[in-house]
Amino acid sequence: MTQDCKRILAVVGTRPEVIKMAPVVHALRQTRWADVRVLATAQHREMLDEALAVFGITPDIDLNIMLPQQSLPELTARLLRALDEVITAETPDAIIVQGDTTTVMAVALAAFYRQIPIGHVEAGLRSGNLYSPFPEEMNRTVAGHLSRWHFAPTKGAEANLLREGIAPDRIHVTGNTVIDALLEVASRATLPSPLKVPAGARMILLTAHRREHFGAPLAEIFRAVRDLADARDDVCFIYPVHPNPNVKETASRLLGDHPRILLCAPIEYVSFVALMKRAYLVITDSGGVQEEAPALGKPVVVTRRETERPEAVTAGVAVLVGPNYDALIAVVGRLLDEPLFYARMAVGASPYGDGAAAGRIVSVLQKDLLGEAKDAASVP
């Protein structure tokens, strides 16, 4: 590593982090000034490995941190100890994290203790409820207040940071790197879909995994899905079930024996993109899917009470219904029965970026770390 070369540690722990960090890692590796080292905490082992393979990234360091039935306090404590050892050994000039996982919060705290500057990709998202999503709202808030660079995906995220007292010169509106990754994957010659949809059926893609939905709220969502499938023989549901036992048991009990509801294991990202492209609409509590599906022209029904991604709701490409049986039945029914309502939501536009976010992030880092910058495209 030359004197002018800066060591950057990029940390990922879950599949969504890899998807959104991959464009930044690849963009940094195309420069001559950045020595990029990738650290995987493996907060989600199998799903993380799959996403790393999709984007051709091999971790330089792998903590393999997760244990069966590990509690959040145990995970956080083990992460802090392991991360401090890595940071001490690596001596990075900067650390980059993405999103709102326990990995992100722990990295921000460990870097703060060692006075290493943090860049936060997808900064400034807020639901306004500290316990929803849980623990993500707390994680991203803590990481935000410990970061030097805030790479906000939208003007709304920037406004959230400004309200919290973050200095304007530390906030950079870049767009969301998820659109960079999505457009690259969606453009590949073949997008294999491992699941067969019955001829003539309108396929609805379902994702549900939020910790705050465990128990009665998740059962409410599943009851609505089952009743929709019972009432409509031209509709089928595909649900890649999250591996958490709290999700798997409820899904198996309430949805597992229906001929038009297909439960399957989590699907690797390329095939999941193919399923989104094939879907008639998407029901989700996932943050990333709220960003991706509108860009593919798919209406999104969000089964959460609050969302840190209000831009899609404001743009009319997503509807917030909460884990509410009646609201979910009503909105999905309208999308299935009212072509004009469907057409207004299926416009194929995303308020989250134009696919050039990673380049803008690299330009900011280059300017601050080296005192120079390449030209970057303006933010949409």
Q: pLDDT per residue over 68-80, tens digit each?
A: 888 999 999 999 9
Q: What local confidence, expressed as pLDDT, does residue 348 receive? A: 78
- Average pLDDT in the chain: 92
Kindly report which listed range (44-53, 336-345, 368-377) carries the lowest average pLDDT score: 368-377
> Model-level pTM?
0.87
Predicted pLDDT at 267: 87
Contacts 24+ apart (CB under 8 A), 50-56: 50/15, 50/268, 50/269, 51/15, 51/18, 51/19, 51/22, 51/268, 51/269, 52/12, 52/18, 54/18, 54/185, 54/268, 54/269, 54/270, 55/18, 55/19, 55/22, 55/25, 55/26, 55/181
Count helices and strands in the chain by DSSP H and E runs: 15, 13
Name the maximum alpha-carbon separation found in the chain. Answer: 67
Q: pLDDT tier at 372 (50, 70, 90 boundaries)? A: low
Helix (H) or strand (E) holding 358: helix 357-370
Which domains does the chain possess?
6-176+353-370 (3.40.50.2000), 202-345 (3.40.50.2000)
Looking at per-residue pLDDT, the higher value among 332 and 245 belongs to 332
Active site residues: 100, 122, 136, 209, 211, 242
Contacts of 112 (CB under 8 A, 6+ apart): 118, 146
> Please, which residues bridge with residue 320 across strands?
302
The C-alpha angle with vertex 306 and arms to 238 and 241, in degrees rounded to 5, equals: 20
Residue 128 confidence (pLDDT): 93
Kindly state the DSSP code that residue 129 receives in the 8-state scheme. Answer: B
Residue 242: the pLDDT is 86
Chain segment 24-63, per-residue pLDDT in tens: 999 999 999 999 999 999 988 888 999 999 999 999 999 9
**pLDDT for position 376:** 42
Please identify which residue in the block is written with the tokens 């991203």: 140
Residues 6+ apart with CB under 8 A from 322: 303, 304, 305
Cα–Cα distance for residue pair 69/76, rounded to 1 Å: 14
